[in-house]
Amino acid sequence: MWQSDKEPFVEAITSPVAHRTRSHATIKPSAEPEVGYAPQFPTVEVSGPEGVIMVHHHWTADDVMKAADGLSKPGDIGGQRFGQELMAFVQSCRPTQAELRQLLMIRLGPQYNRIDRNWVDGDVRLHLPEWNAPPQGQPDLNGPYREMIRGLIKRVETPYPTTINIDMIASCKQKDDEPVADFLIRLTCVHNDHCGIYTPATRKWSWQGTWSRKRQRKRKRREN
C-alpha cells in the first residue's frame, strides 16, 4: 500500500508465503520503515507468492516535474544523446506511456508537437522486471513497451540533430586559484553537457601522448 503524504513506501506484504523462509522461520522487520525510504519509481519490484512482481504507483504532478528535471533537453545535447538518456531513464524508473507523455510535455514544452505522433493505443507499461525479450517460446509481455520506447527515440533523433554549444564551452575559463586538474574536470563536465558528440570508448592515443608528439615535431622543425 502506498503512503499518501510526501514520499510513498510499500507496506510489508502480509502473504504467509512471502514471510516464511525455507526453515519456516518468520521474517520480522528490524524496525518500522520510515516514510520516504522507497524511491519514487512509478513501477517497482515487489516480492510475491510466485516471485518478483511489478506493482505500479501512479505518479503525481510533482513526481513528473522532478523526473523531468533529471533529463537533459534534446535541443542542448542532440536527439541521439537524449535518446540514450531516455532509454536509461525508462529502464530505471519504468513509467507508463501516459506518464512518459506527461513528462515529455513538460521537458520539451511547445516543441513536444515534434514527437507527438505514432503512440501505441491503450495502456502500455512494463509487466515484468526483465527488460530484454524472454527465451523463445515464452510470452513477451514487455514487447509492446520496448517497441513504444524505440519508436519514441527514433522520433526524437530526427528533429534534434547533434549539436555543440561552442559559446558555453568557450566561456568556461580557468580561475586564478584553480588547479589545472580541477579545471580539466570542470571543463570536461561543461563539454559533456553541451556537446552532443560522444567521446569514443577507446582512443588510439591519449591526449598526453598526442601533445608530446606535437612538441617533438616542433622541436625537430626548429633544429632543422
The pLDDT profile of the chain, 224 residues, written as one tens digit per residue, is: 444 444 443 333 333 334 344 444 444 444 443 433 334 445 556 666 666 666 656 667 687 777 778 888 888 888 988 999 999 989 888 888 998 998 899 889 999 999 999 998 888 988 887 888 888 888 999 999 999 999 999 999 989 988 788 888 899 999 999 999 999 999 988 887 777 776 665 555 554 454 455 556 666 666 66
pLDDT for residue 7: 44
pLDDT for residue 27: 41
pLDDT for residue 16: 39
At 33, give phi and psi (nearest 5°): -70, 140
Residue 43 C-alpha cell reads as 513501477
For the chain, give every domain's residue range: 61-157, 166-223
Cα–Cα distance between 163 and 196 in angstroms, integer?
5
pLDDT for residue 119: 94
pLDDT for residue 189: 87
Q: To which H or E segment does residue 100 belong?
A: helix 97-108
pLDDT for residue 8: 43
- Class of residue 177 by CB neighbours under 10 A (exposed 0-12, middle 13-18, buried 19+): exposed
Long-range contacts of 66-75 (CB under 8 A, 24+ apart): 66/40, 67/40, 67/93, 67/95, 67/103, 68/103, 68/106, 68/107, 71/103, 71/107, 72/193, 73/107, 73/108, 74/108, 74/156, 74/160, 75/111, 75/160, 75/163
Residue 93 identity: C
pLDDT for residue 171: 93
At 46, give phi and psi (nearest 5°): -130, 140
Nearest to 64 by CA among 96, 21, 32, 33: 96
Q: To which H or E segment does residue 182 belong?
A: helix 180-194
Is 113 strand, coil or helix? helix
Cα–Cα distance between 213 and 224 in angstroms, integer?
17
Cα–Cα distance between 37 and 30 in angstroms, integer?
14
Model confidence, pTM: 0.56
